[in-house]
Amino acid sequence: MLPSVDDLLESARVVALPLRTRFRGITVREALLLTGPHGATEFSPFVEYDDSEAATWLAAAIDFGWGTTPPLLRDRIPVNATLPVVTPDRVPEILDRFAGCRTVKVKVADPGATLADDVARVAAVRAYLGPEGRIRLDANGAWTVDEAERAIHAMAEFDLEYVEQPCATVAELAEIRSRVHYMDVPIAADESVRKAADPLAVARAGAADLLVIKAQPLGGISAAARIVAEAGLPVVVSSALDTSVGLSMGAHLAAALPELQFDCGLGTAALLAEDVTDAPLLPHDGAIEVRRIDLSAQLLDRHAASADRRDWWLKRLRRCHSLLEG
């Protein structure tokens, strides 16, 4: 059953965590943390998301804190490193934080960068990893089909594991998948799953080779696992720049899936300069543990959001809770 909004507000803490490097255009990550019968849980939709989308994230937080976790099939999850849009000289500094990770997701197609910038960044990653490491690109749907084809062709020499959301729409993904088939570069769908009215449409259209699955945007572990089962495609469980609490939710999802062929995007605690726990879910030997997170009262106090930001988040929680009640 849905807990009352008063039950949620009783434990709600809002934090503002600094990032080590600008990511998605932000330098501070805000999140609202709750404590349910099963422990800490997280509600952290990005601030630009409207209430109807954010309500799904609240459903996920309630599911993790108050619901039942499926049986777990593994206790460690292999993870990739995530490289923001940085200059090539900063690549080693950032990737060194992802201890033991042999897969790197490289952010590309930034509005302020050129294709030459992306190529140089990917080349620096390949030099860092050597020939055995795996490189995947994430364009966040920013390219047109022609731009995507040109970019994939320019970076295919670096032996790409896959390209995530090169274009925005399902139809565009289907076209670029057809165009680059000869290069043997798989296409992954992220936004076309987590921001879609029908998260299975991209799979039905044959527009992707694999899906990127995120627990919070899809309504929680059980809802995301159902989508994975129905899609019938390989998946990568990823995060949305969560605190270690949100990453724990993602790790529990990954641990519950029957098959896990790819390293998961759950190592992003390494991008945070601070966290909400004394034992953050940082990568070790290329993996993170599957465990619940104990919140640190000291860190919650140290990184408490300002009064106006706290009020903004609490009002948002109330509105989203009303949508779930409806």
47 occurs within a structural domain: yes
Q: Are residues 179 and 233 in the same domain?
A: yes
| Residue 84's CATH number | 3.20.20.120
| Strands 13-23, 26-36: pairing kind | antiparallel
pLDDT band at 179, cuts 50/70/90?
Answer: very high
AA letter at 148:
A
> Which is catalytic among the residues 105, 107, 195, 315?
107
Confidence band, pLDDT 50/70/90 cuts, at residue 202: very high
- Determine how many CB atoms are found less than 10 A away from the CB of residue 197: 5
- pLDDT at position 121: 98
pLDDT at 299 over 90: yes
Banded pLDDT at 318 (limits 50, 70, 90): very high
| Residue 195 designated active-site | no
Q: What percent of the chain has pLDDT over 70?
A: 100
The reported pLDDT for the residue numbered 111 is 92
- Give the chain's mean pLDDT: 97
Does residue 9 share a domain with residue 95?
no
Residues 236 and 103 in one domain: yes
Annotated binding residues: 138, 164, 190
**Chain segment 131-142, per-residue pLDDT in tens:** 999 999 999 999
Residue 2 phi, psi (nearest 5): -70, 120
- The reply to whether 85 and 216 lie within a common domain is yes
Q: Are residues 28 and 173 in the same domain?
A: no
Q: Which pLDDT tens digit goes with each residue over 58-102?
A: 999 999 999 999 999 999 999 999 999 999 999 999 999 999 999
pTM of the model: 0.97
DSSP class of 288: E
At 43, is the pLDDT very low, low, confident or very high (cuts 50, 70, 90)?
Answer: very high
Measure the CA angle with vertex 64, ends 61 and 66; round to 5°. Answer: 95
pLDDT at 242: 97
Averaged pLDDT, 156-166: 98
Whether residue 214 has pLDDT greater than 90? yes
Per the annotation, the verdict on 107 as an active-site residue is yes
List CB contacts of 277: < 8 A, sequence separation 6 or more.
243, 244, 245, 293, 294, 295, 296, 299
pLDDT bin (cut points 50, 70, 90) of residue 324 is very high
**Whether residues 285 and 155 fall in one domain:** yes
Query: Whole domain around residue 27: which residue ranges?
Result: 5-69+299-325
Residue 294 placed within a domain: no
CA distances to 187, 239, 244, 281, 288 from 251, in Å: 23, 9, 10, 10, 8
Domain count, the chain: 2
| pLDDT level of residue 112 (50, 70, 90 thresholds) | confident
CATH assignment at residue 320: 3.30.390.10
Q: Does residue 49 sit in the same domain as residue 169?
A: no
> 């022609």: which residue's tokens?
146
Residue 33 domain-assigned (yes or no): yes
Q: CA 61, 72, 290 angle in degrees (round to 5)?
A: 65
Average confidence (pLDDT) over 204-210 = 98
Full 3-state SS string of 183-247: HCCCEEECHHHHCCCCCCHHHHCCCCCEEEEECCCCCCHHHHHHHHHHHCCCEEEECCCCCHHHH
CB-CB neighbours of 296 under 10 Å: 16
Render pLDDT for 220-263 as a digit per residue (tens, 0 to 9). Answer: 999 999 999 999 999 999 998 999 999 999 999 999 999 999 99
**For the chain, how big is the Rg over CA atoms in Å?**
19
User: 165 and 303 share a domain?
Assistant: no
Helix (H) or strand (E) holding 107: strand 103-107
Q: Is the pLDDT of residue 297 over 90?
A: yes
Residues at the binding site for Mg(2+) are 138, 164, 190
Compute the residue count for the chain.
326
Q: Which of 237, 283, 285, 257 is nearest to 74 (CA)?
A: 257
Confidence of residue 41 (pLDDT cuts 50, 70, 90): very high
